Every structure is written in C-alpha cells, then in structure tokens.
Structure 1
Amino acid sequence: MTSYSSANAPRSFVYHPVFQTIVIAVILLAGPVLLVIGSSMNAADRELVASGSRTTGTVVEVNDGAEAPTHNFRVEYVASDASVHSVWADWAPDAKPAFGSSVTVIYSATEPSAALVEGHGTPGRTVAGLGGLLTVVSVVIVVVMAFGFARGRARRRRAG
C-alpha cells in the first residue's frame, strides 16, 4: 500500500491564476455597478416620495429572522383605482411593525404597484450599501496587489 503524499495531490481550481483573475475582476466590477444601480433606485424612491400618492396600508406579514436580511414585512394597500397591491419593506430591529398595524404607503398614481412604505428601508439602500462595501474591498485588493507587485519587483532587481 502506498502512502498519501500531499505533494502529488492535484491542486484545487481555486489556485489557478485564471480563476483568481476572474474573481478579482468580478469584485472590481460588481461594486461600482451595484453602487450605480442602488443610487438610481434611491433616486426613483426620492421621486416617488416627492410626487406619489399616499394611502394607509395594513401590515399582513412580518418576517422576524435571526439575521438582518430577514427583517422585512409586507403591507397591503388599496390604490385610488380600487386595486389591491402589496409592497415589502425592511425594518430596523428597533422599529418592528406589529401584525395588523397601519402604515403609510406611497405609490405611483400611474403604476400603483410601484410603492414604498414611508419611514422604512427600501431595496435601493441595501444595493447601494453592498455596492459601496464591494467598492471599498476592491480598492483594498488593488492597493494590496500593487504593493505586492512593487515589492516583488524590488526583490527581483536586488537579486538580479
């Protein structure tokens, strides 16, 4: 029976330079793209707040998970054309809405399904925050890579 040697074991694809380059490129591109998308979503929400119609909605579902992404709730509301719609909103841990409570919903008169709950989080904030985080991570990666490249280049100059 032969003994196992880790020196002869195949290396994982994670160590392949092409895979690493693709991962770095995705991180570098995803942050700014998400930042732009989140900012445009926030701009649309600000426009909706400024020009939308307001109505009272009823909280019909509250998700109270252990993690922040599951802190959301669903509100049903009736638009001016008597159609019933629902919208999801995020809630902060200190502002949990009660099931059956009334909240203010702001919706577009031309597209009643486009709505948000006044005073609660919207997906645009989350997307912009994630984009900002990935942008910061990508800048740190670029700085570390540039520092490592310069250091390696200096070593090669001294050695050769």
Structure 2
Amino acid sequence: MELSKTGEAAPPKQRHAPLALLIVAMLLIGPLLVTIGSVLVAGNNHLLATGTRVAGTVIDVHDGPESSDRRFGAEYFAADSSRHVIWADWVSHAKPKLRDTVTVVYRQDDPGSAVIAGYGTPGEFVQGLGIVLTVIVGGTGVVMLVSGRRGNRKRSRERL
C-alpha cells in the first residue's frame, strides 16, 4: 500500500490507459473509414457518370432481418458477351423482385467492375460505419473525459 506525503493511505491509481488507447484507436479508425468510404463512393459516382449502361436481371434476393442482410444479385452481359454478377444493397422501399430489370453501369475496360444505378454500394456502408464509430466513440470519450475531470476535482476538494 502506498502512503501519501501526510502518511495516509494514498488512493489506488486508476488504470485507464488501455481504455484510453482503445478510444484513441477507434477515433482514428472512424475517420479513416469515412475517408475510405468517401473515396469508394466518389469512384462509384464517377462510374455512374462515365460507365457503360446495360440492362441486368435480378437473379437472387436476400431479405434478412437487419438492413445489412438486404442484398440482391443481378446478372448482366458486357459488350464482349461475358456474363457477370454484381451484388448491391437495397432499402426497404426499393426491394427488387426476382427477374426484375435493373440498370447496371460497368467500366468498359473492366466489365467486372460495376454498380447498379439507384442501389447501395459497399462504399456507402463503410462511410456510414465510420460516421457511427466516430460519433459514438467520440461522444463516449468526451463524456468519460468530462466525468473523469469532475471526479478528479471532487476528490481533490475532499482531500483538502
């Protein structure tokens, strides 16, 4: 047991370093995910603006209980007659049905690189996850910092 300068038992040292490191890491990961997601979204927007448009056919629809489980696959044929399948997310008001026709936009020099016009992309998910991490972890970190400072002030007043 440690003794203070007055000879009394010193309060135990708090070990918040691992938690603080975790919060700092999450605060760095959140903005990194936002940046990566933004780059992916910008690339998809560029592809939507400049890519080759073809009709695709919905061949599979996954309707899970969570929004992250709502995905569908569409088949399309590129100009060179090669067959490709792309997956996209759908929101509750835009659920596709089997054999629906969708607009697929692909890169002419890489027909496997494509997006489905009007539906979600992985970049949007990554960007959203980064925003959620930043807000939740940042908010938690601020609350912990404020409450920790208040607790330190209160303990220092009690010692006097």
Q: TM-score interval w.r.t. the shorter chain?
A: 0.7 to 0.9
Cα deviation, 1:40-79, whole Å, max 9, x if unaligned, reads 1100011101110000011111101111111110001001
Aligned counterpart, 1:45: 44
Q: Report deviation, 1:22.
A: 4.3
TM-score, scaled to structure 2: 0.84
Aligned counterpart, 2:5: none
Gaps of 5+ in 1: 1-15
Q: Which amino acid aligns with 1:48?
A: L
Where do residues 7-86 of structure 1 align in structure 2 (5 Å cutoff)? 17=16, 19-86=18-85
Distance 2:110 2:87 in 1: 16
Runs of 4+ in 1 over 3 A off after TM superposition: 16-19
Distance 1:74 1:145 in 2: 44
Where do residues 103-122 of structure 1 align in structure 2 (5 Å cutoff)? 103-122=102-121
Distance 1:154 1:23 in 2: 25
TM-score, scaled to structure 1: 0.84
Gaps of 5+ in 2: 1-14
Secondary structure of 2:152's match?
A: helix
Aligned counterpart, 2:156: 157
Distance 1:69 1:138 in 2: 21
Give the CA RMSD over aligned residues.
1.8
Task: Say how many residue pairs are matched.
Answer: 146
Distance 1:21 1:142 in 2: 8
Identity of aligned residues (%): 41
Q: Which amino acid aligns with 2:55?
A: T
Q: Report deviation, 1:150.
A: 1.6
Aligned counterpart, 2:12: none
Q: Report deviation, 1:26.
A: 3.2
